[in-house]
Amino acid sequence: SPTRSSILTGRNPARTGLTAPECHLPRVLLQPVVAATADPGRKDTQVSSVSRMDTALPTLGKMIKAGGYSTAHFGKWHLGPEPYSPLQHGFDVDIPHWPGPGPAGSYVAPWQFQDFKENYPKEHIEDRMAEEAIQWMKSVPDDQPFYMNYWQFSIHAPFDARQELIEKYRAKIDPDNPQHSPVYAAMVESMDDAVGSLLDAVDAAGIADHTAIVFLSDNGGNMYDRPDGSQPTSNFPLRGGKATMFEGGVRVPCVVVWPGVTRAGTRSDEIIQSTDFYPTLLSLLGIPQPENYAIDGIDITPALKGGSLDRDAIFTYFPHSPPIVPDWLPSSMSVLCGDWKLLRLFHQGENGAHDWLLYNLKDDIGETNNLAASYPEKVQTMDAMIETYIQSAGVVVPRINPDFDPAQYHPERIGIPQRPPQGGNADERANRNPDRPDIDGWQAGATCSISRKDGTLVIQSSGGDPYVELKKMDPVSGGPFTVCLRIKAEASDGGVIYYNQPASEGCTAWFAFTGDGEWHDVEAVIDESKINGLRIDPSTTSGRIEIDWVRLKNQSGTCVNEWMFN
């Protein structure tokens, strides 16, 4: 969501306040808010992200439409439902008109979109999106220019794909290659097919010589979800991945084709940012920029032509701490200037002072050697750049936590996932937390507590990594299984079922539900013949979550286990 908003507005998420992918949640927040206090184990207070892209902003859709172009959006939006959808941001068409963080239910039909149904059984959403985009492109009159966003749902959770493609890549697994997930590979092929279909349609229409194409990703490879029981991507030699501030999280592929501007087969080492596409597209299309509107990006046309760029620095801001992510950091802002990169960790030093990480990317692209202590003047100079930007852009930043208790602080915060290991058999796991109370065999883990009230299991989450797991589960045969549950929450970003031991090895099944305070019956399919453990991760948001019942059904639909919490 932050990247998508930066492309459409030309503004850094630090300036807009849209810093986290929370635009599917029910709360409408148009300005970021910093909390007054935090958990006593935190040194800083949290910043709540904007949850909708403000319709007052002069987005690319609005600007290019005003320039005489037909406009359409296909695929993922995740910047807010009505009245914050693409239709309110300058796009004439929006398909499938869905505000969620991923496809509704699955990539492979049957889907759960509200007003968008599959044309045939097991239709893949990217095949359909490409088809819809091509049909729209053909419908635009020949003398009418068009601007299309095709923002694929791929590659993203929930991880599933066409079965024949999964089997194709299962036969190609190389265990010595760190990227060996057949599900992930199958998802990439469907993405590639959709892109190829679109490019073929441009060629067939005879418009390739005057059609600009921009292809890029919104973040580095995913290092924490584990389809097929393994890490799906490798960003080596970069450190970290998606949802980190290290280079593995922020360096992404980008390909630009612009007839008359770019030259085929060339490559540029100039550093650009997603905010740059706003001024660049408007400039090359001859559309004036809006007046009295601050833009963080620059026109990168010189780089597209093979030249160099004149820019002082690039700023990246992520005031969140997702502890389930490898190489996670506390709330931080970075500045990239030449070969040097400085990360400010807000209030992580002594007595409320900031802490810093300094890297020379020319010598240390893997960000393994923190040079902050060796170059104090460099730290001071670059941190002053961060502070100047914060002041000029009006960035809402974390505060010192007045309730901080050093006794509850864990200094191993950097690079250490908070999620506990799930190794061991069922008996060992049953004894892992002998003093922690359970409810009908379920225990709370990580960032939540549980209680029983009015026949429901109540989960009180502080955000981050709340989950409940069975203290002990005897092996059950007869799968594939379906986990059914009735759940409600005031906010949710979707849930996941972990099964078998060890759970952290990637045995996962995803389910989607809306955090609107209403009860929802949801299901997650476990494609295994035998299981020996269950864990429910209902969300990563804070607040109250309730589960009315959980049922485990076997292949024939017979309920083999049930938890009613009466």
Question: Which of 48-52, 113-117, 413-417, 468-472 is predicted least confidently?
Answer: 413-417
Question: What are residue 44's phi and psi, to 5 degrees?
Answer: -125, 165
pLDDT tens, position by position, 134-187: 999 999 999 999 999 999 999 888 888 999 999 999 999 988 888 889 999 999
pLDDT band at residue 424, thresholds of 50, 70 and 90? very low
Q: What is the pTM of this model?
A: 0.77
* pLDDT for the residue numbered 25: 82
Mean pLDDT of the chain, nearest integer: 88
Nearest to 533 by CA among 465, 487, 467: 467
Question: What is the gyration radius of the CA atoms in the chain, in angstroms?
Answer: 24
State the residue for tokens 């990439």: 188
pLDDT band at residue 416, thresholds of 50, 70 and 90? very low
Task: Average the pLDDT over 421-436 and give the result.
Answer: 38
| Distance of alpha carbon 264 from the chain centroid | 32
The larger pLDDT score, comparing residue 268 to residue 322, is at 268
- Report d(CA 136, CA 443) in Å as an integer: 51
Task: Average the pLDDT over 477-493 and give the result.
Answer: 83
Question: Which of 119-123, 370-374, 496-500 is predicted least confidently?
Answer: 496-500
pLDDT exceeds 80 at position 493: no
Pairing mode, if any, of strands 495-499 and 534-537?
antiparallel
pLDDT tens, position by position, 27-45: 899 999 999 988 888 899 9
- Report d(CA 476, CA 478) in Å as an integer: 7
Nearest to 162 by CA among 217, 100, 120: 120
- In the chain, pLDDT over 70 holds for what percent of residues? 90
Question: What are residue 522's phi and psi, to 5 degrees?
Answer: -125, 160
Strands of the sheet containing 314-318, edge to edge, are: 314-318, 332-337, 340-345, 355-360
Reduce the DSSP state of residue 94 to 3 states and report it.
strand
pLDDT exceeds 80 at position 426: no
pLDDT exceeds 60 at position 560: yes
The larger pLDDT score, comparing residue 21 to residue 510, is at 21
* pLDDT for the residue numbered 177: 87
The larger pLDDT score, comparing residue 501 to residue 102, is at 102
pLDDT exceeds 60 at position 423: no
Q: Are 357 and 317 in contact (CB under 8 A)?
A: no
pLDDT tens, position by position, 442-474: 988 767 889 998 889 999 887 666 788 887 888
pLDDT tens, position by position, 235-285: 999 999 999 999 999 999 999 999 999 999 999 999 999 999 999 999 999
Pairing mode, if any, of strands 542-553 and 481-489?
antiparallel
DSSP secondary structure, 111-169, as one string: ---SS---SSTT-BHHHHHHHHHHHHHHHS-TT--EEEEEE---S-SS----HHHHHHH
Reduce the DSSP state of residue 545 to 3 states and report it.
strand
pLDDT exceeds 80 at position 427: no
- In the chain, pLDDT over 90 holds for what percent of residues? 64
DSSP secondary structure, 9-44, as one string: HS--HHHH---SS-TTSS---SS-EE-S---TT-SB
The larger pLDDT score, comparing residue 422 to residue 56, is at 56
